Structure 1
Amino acid sequence: MRILLIHNFYGSEAPSGENRAFLLEKAMLEKNGHEVQTYTTHSDNLRKLGVLGNITGAIMTPWNPMTYDRVRRIVKKFKPDIVHAHNTFPIISPSIFYAAGDVARVLTLHNYRLFCSAAIPMRNGVVCTNCIDKKSVFSSVQHGCYRGSGFATLPIAAKISLHRSIGTWNRAIDSFVALSEFQKNLISKGGIDPNFIQVKPNFFPGTPDRIPYSKRKNSVVFAGRISEEKGIDILIEAWKEWGPDAPYLEVLGDGPLKSKLEKNTKGINNISFLGKMDSSEAEKIIGNSRLLILPSIWFEGFPMVVREALALGTPIAVSNIGPLPTIAELANGVVFEPGNSKSLVEMVQSALSDKKQMIERAAASIRAFEQNFSETTNHNILMNIYKSAIEKRRSRK
């Protein structure tokens, strides 16, 4: 199959799970013998331009005529069977779906930016789905949901309104890829026909080396962006409440709360902030941990770190919000109430005290990976999505 993959890479100063998912999927397709061509842009190019870059990004977000023309020419020359976009924000824009001609188009929904200007359905530390429920962007502009600025939010709100009004989402795209059933249901509330949304979670490539659970060190791990929506402050509070008897907590990643939390945990010997590291280093730590904790307080898509943990046989403990409890159920994971440090301590403490059950959870994690999140399973799902998109495009002619 001939596939044109399209992606706007986010800035390199904040490593993105979306960027990693795009590169992994490209490698998977090539490994399985497909002919792949890419069209990509980088947000770093805008940042180098300073204020001019901000203005350029704002103008191009709703509709970029230059990327329309470039993709149209690539499609004409490459003649793909599928045009598959992952992220079009901020430079590429949804104009590329109109440049595809008669070719089937697929869009992966890594977040909720189709209807939510912030991409994260959250405002002031609380889940907010106003723009999805009301099918209106007024609230996002009013509250400055993108970077706390109504002015900065305007271009994204304009994009959402424009493409809702001209029917882009229901007429110019043949298959949407949601990362979970939860995300599919929420996106369909925004106005997308659920028959055009198919579920394909993120995957882990290959089969990793695993450390037997009984030989792992007495530590647990958090890996991700150190920010409010990830609930990392709740996790730190839980560890303070647990006290010196709590297992060693290793925090991987970077983000706006890192320096504050490091300062607040000085003198606490069982919490360590290890900072940003490459995926192979992170996998070693996750694979040698007794538990991965994901205390998110917002609707995740499908965190890349979850499929890493399951592949490595590391049990997961997640907050009871969005798609996380459903994923945990597949792997017999631990579930606690979001934003509740006492619930987190109670559930994690109880789980770790039963060593036999934790070994069983580790085995369940591996089974969940092999059945749902392996590369082979993911490729099969993606091929079915592509075939469905091609059939839908033919029926539209």
Structure 2
Amino acid sequence: MPFTIHALLPACWPSRARRPHEPAMSTAVRVILAHCRYRSGIPSGENSAVDRQAAWMEAAGIPLIRWERRSDDLLAAGRWAQARAAWALPGNAARRRALVHELRPLADGRTVLHLHNPWPLYTYDLAQAAQSVGIPVVQTLHNYRLIASNQRWVSDGRLRRPTTAAEQAHVSALGAMHHGRLAEWAYRRALSRLWRQNQPATALTTLICLSHFQQQQVIAAGIPASRTTVIPNAMPDPGPPPNQRPAGEYALFVGRLDSMKGIDWLMQAWPACGLPLTVVGDGPLAACCQGIPGVNWLGSQPTEHVQRLMAGARLLVMASRWYEGHPLVLVEALARGLPCLVPDLGGLPEVIHGEIGRVYRPGDKADLASQAQTLWHNPPPAATCYAAFTAHYEQAAHRARLEECWRHALAVGTP
């Protein structure tokens, strides 16, 4: 029986994601948008970013082919399928041949593969397959999985143990993303082989980072600087907030309720702030949000309700323990004139600065309380936050930069 892209999964699954009708072309570029979706039970900013990209591409008439795999399907397939997928993470020759077979008819000199999350069902076999048939690959890196897994940090193409407390905390958080010893071992094994074979440099034409901090990390890990660029997340302009935006009645947290997002630490630290806090989201640490004076936990909420909550908030707060890519929730808050309070961690200070929010020292409860009080009593004008959004994160500029990136990839070709 010939190998198919889903040989690691039950045979009843389709071998290929849907291929929607291609509207009238507004550009010479055709894009294969490939993404392994995260579990549906856990809110994912990356899934949302990919869906938004697909929506504006289709609306703009850009020829689009969507390839998707779903982690939900792998979880439902049982432990044997999961073990086979884990073993194949470093690469699988039969899977690459199947991908080459699917990609070769699309190699027409105007097609670009735009890859988002490749794990665990595509892996970098997809990038190598595209490269082998002459389709350039652009990847948007939403996190740091390409350069780190639990217990290891990749630098200069070599795996090494973290050397600082910040690195150790970061890779420990990344390990928690992998949900179990088998997954941790599988990702370590995959990353080791990935970098020994220098696949990121040989298969990717362009790596899109979401922040300059992230770009610095991937360059330090061995990606040529000339192959990287920075294009942060964006969203459509919702229109300017009211000139006289009423003072909000609460601080707002929106996100997954797990240790990586720091919700447990925030619940310990927030009472000292003396301010009301509304928490939106769900996850394994939801219980820690209950029974705390001044904290109102609402659970998961529809997007429209979250937008209304932002309109009634005084500030947005984050408490992440690990390096974020470029959280969409910050973009959404700024678009609605809402200032933000974030830890001084990774690329977050690139998004939030003194004019549109405050930055506090990670893990410092006293500094969190001080900065929260300052921002609560002296919030920046809503127009200032909105101006920062339109200057840096409005979708029209984002689209133009992506189209430029695709055309550059076609001009440069495969590595």
User: 2:324 maps to which residue?
Assistant: 300
* Structure 2 CA distance for partners of 1:6 and 1:150, relative to 1, 3 Å: same
User: 1:344 maps to which residue?
Assistant: 368
Contact 2:355 2:384 in 1 (8 A): yes
For residues 62-86 of structure 1, give each alpha carbon's deviation from its aligned partner in whole angstroms, at most 9, with x where no partner exists: 2245653454334333345201110
Classify the secondary structure of the residue corresponding to 2:353: helix
Contact 1:229 1:296 in 2 (8 A): yes
Hey, which of these two has a bigger chunk of helix by percent?
1
- Structure 1 gaps of 5+ residues are 124-129
* Structure 2 CA distance for partners of 1:210 and 1:53, relative to 1, 3 Å: farther
User: 1:113 maps to which residue?
Assistant: 145
Superposed displacement of residue 181, structure 1: 0.3
Contact 1:297 1:338 in 2 (8 A): yes
Task: Determine if the alignment matches structure 1 residue 30 to structure 2 residue 58.
Answer: yes
From 108, 112, 121, the equivalent of 1:91 is: 121
Classify the secondary structure of the residue corresponding to 1:132: strand
User: 1:78 maps to which residue?
Assistant: 106
Superposed displacement of residue 112, structure 1: 0.8
Contact 2:264 2:288 in 1 (8 A): no
Give the alignment's TM-score, normalised by structure 2: 0.83
Task: Determine if the alignment matches structure 1 residue 389 to structure 2 residue 413.
Answer: no
Distance 1:6 1:60 in 2: 18
From 17, 26, 38, the equivalent of 1:10 is: 38
Alignment of 1:165-180 (within 5 A): 165-180=196-211
Of residues 73-82 and 31-40 in structure 1, the stretch that sits farther from structure 2 once superposed is 73-82
User: 1:126 maps to which residue?
Assistant: none
Distance 1:91 1:139 in 2: 27
Distance 1:209 1:56 in 2: 51
Alignment of 1:172-251 (within 5 A): 172-208=203-239, 210=241, 214-243=245-274, 246=275, 248-251=276-279
User: 1:127 maps to which residue?
Assistant: none
Superposed displacement of residue 339, structure 1: 1.0
Contact 2:315 2:375 in 1 (8 A): no
Contact 2:112 2:137 in 1 (8 A): yes
Q: Cα RMSD between the aligned structures?
A: 2.4
Distance 2:247 2:102 in 1: 50
Superposed displacement of residue 54, structure 1: 1.9
Contact 1:331 1:367 in 2 (8 A): no
For residues 32-79 of structure 1, give each alpha carbon's deviation from its aligned partner in whole angstroms, at most 9, with x where no partner exists: 221000111101111112212321321232224565345433433334
Superposed displacement of residue 27, structure 1: 1.3
1:167 maps to amino acid: N
* Structure 2 CA distance for partners of 1:56 and 1:287, relative to 1, 3 Å: farther
Size of the aligned set, in residue pairs, is: 373
Superposed displacement of residue 9, structure 1: 0.6
1:364 maps to amino acid: T
Classify the secondary structure of the residue corresponding to 1:335: strand
Distance 1:389 1:103 in 2: 9
Distance 1:108 1:376 in 2: 18
Superposed displacement of residue 148, structure 1: 6.8
Superposed displacement of residue 242, structure 1: 3.0
From 310, 316, 319, the equivalent of 2:340 is: 316
Give the alignment's TM-score, normalised by structure 1: 0.87
Q: Sequence identity, in percent?
A: 27
Contact 1:145 1:153 in 2 (8 A): yes
Classify the secondary structure of the residue corresponding to 2:144: coil
Superposed displacement of residue 238, structure 1: 3.1
Superposed displacement of residue 384, structure 1: 1.8
1:145 maps to amino acid: G
User: 1:282 maps to which residue?
Assistant: 306
Classify the secondary structure of the residue corresponding to 1:98: helix
* Structure 2 CA distance for partners of 1:284 and 1:211, relative to 1, 3 Å: farther
Classify the secondary structure of the residue corresponding to 1:317: strand
Of residues 81-90 and 220-229 in structure 1, the stretch that sits farther from structure 2 once superposed is 220-229
Distance 2:53 2:93 in 1: 27
- Structure 2 gaps of 5+ residues are 1-28, 163-170
Superposed displacement of residue 211, structure 1: 5.0
Superposed displacement of residue 212, structure 1: 5.2
Superposed displacement of residue 300, structure 1: 0.8
Superposed displacement of residue 103, structure 1: 1.4
